[in-house]
Amino acid sequence: MPKQQTREAIEVEMNADQVERLVEDIEEFERRLQEVEKGWGIAPSPNKPLMDRMRAVGMSKKAIDGVSDMLEAITTIALGRMDEP
């Protein structure tokens, strides 16, 4: 008979799924950005700051600010979780 999961175990599993989806979304964004860079004749350079790369291909300030805010929030959440016992 399967063991009943605790609420905490379910939350951990759900959080892991959300993190996995987030990583997949970030990887997809990187692939698409590289395609756009190639279309502009720019050699993709993942080592350059993301915001600079977005500016170089003509993305709007609103889009750049949105991605910047999202990455800042992800960093804050990740750092907060690292501080948890």
Q: What is the pLDDT of residues 18-50, one digit of tens each?
A: 778 888 888 999 999 999 999 999 999 989 999
> Domain tally for the chain?
1
In a domain, 64, yes or no: yes
Does some domain include residue 1? no
Instruction: Give residue-wise pLDDT tens across range 47-72.
Output: 999 999 999 999 999 999 999 998 88
Which two three-digit tokens encode residue 14? 């759900």
2 within a domain of the structure (yes/no): no
CB–CB of 67/73 below 8 Å?
A: no
Whether pTM > 0.85 for this model: the answer is no
Give the C-alpha separation, 31 to 45, whole Å: 11
Rounded distance between C-alpha atoms, residue 64 and residue 7, angstroms: 38
74 falls within a domain: yes
Length of the chain as a residue count: 85
3-state secondary structure of 34: helix
Average pLDDT over residues 8-25: 75
| Residue 11, domain member (yes or no) | yes
- The domain containing residue 29 runs over which residues? 7-83
Cα separation, 21 vs 72, in Å, equals 18
